[in-house]
Amino acid sequence: MSNPHPHTQTAADLFHGLTAEERREVERVTSERAFPKGQVIYTPGETGEALFLLRRGAVQIYRMSAEGRKLVIAHLAPYSFFGEMSCIGQGMYDTYAEVTEDSLVLTMNCAVLEHLLMVNPRVARRILEAFGRRVLDAEQQLEDIAFKGMTARVAALLLKEAEGDEVAGLSHQDIAERLGVYRETATNALNELKAASIISIGRKRITINDRERLTRAAES
């Protein structure tokens, strides 16, 4: 069964496979915290040096243009981690992390992560895999934005987000932000697909009528 969210990091728990000893150690230096929907966990600059691990809920990573347009880089599902850039990479980068559903987030100090990386290669391996997915994802998005027209990009997003033949919970605005475009532009592309009866549109709910043609539409 293929993952309906290939872009999200649904990999197994980052800390799975640790010894009881290590697990205790992790728990000792780690703190769990609840965030209500809408809360911003970090903004550019103000990034505490820490790794966050999403236990439950949903988090969005995004960037903002000078004029306030939003570009959503990633949607995170439970067991994804984020904020690692400030740990592993050089310094912070220009992103916001915002909770889009009431969530439970685990915070881990960078130094501890560092230690864990050195001591437990399986953790490193898992992070590496997640990063790989992330690189892939970003580069694919780059290709899409550079080469494809709106309709194709919307079609691709729908395919990526569909659970079965339904895409639920995404408003046109959400779709637009995922693609870094105006809401009107997204609506337009959706209507084009609707006009070809490839999809049906409801309020925050899109139904795929013809997956084959949608796939084709996502290519040009």
Residues forming the site for a second copy (CB under 8 A):
63, 65-66, 69, 71, 73, 84-85, 88-90, 93-95, 117-119, 121-122, 124-125, 127-129, 131-136, 138-143, 145-147, 180-181, 219-220
Q: Does 219 bind DNA (CB under 7 A)?
A: no
171 counts as binding DNA under rule CB under 7 A: yes
**Cβ 209 to a second copy, closest distance in Å?**
25
Among positions 91-150, residues that touch DNA (CB under 7 A) are 149-150
Q: Which helix (H) or strand (E) holds 21?
A: helix 20-28
By CB under 7 A, tell whether 193 contacts DNA. no
CA–centroid distance for 19 within its chain: 29
Smaller CB distance to DNA: residue 55 or 213? 213
Q: What is the smallest separation between the CB atom of 202 and a second copy, expressed in angstroms?
A: 28
Q: Is 72 in the site for DNA (CB under 7 A)?
A: no
Residue 142: count of CB within 10 angstroms of its CB? 10
Tokens at 90, concatenated: 């050089």
How many Cα atoms within 13 Å fall on the side-chain side of residue 116?
A: 30
- CB of 173 closer than 8 Å to CB of 183: yes
The two most distant CA atoms of the chain are separated, in Å, by: 60
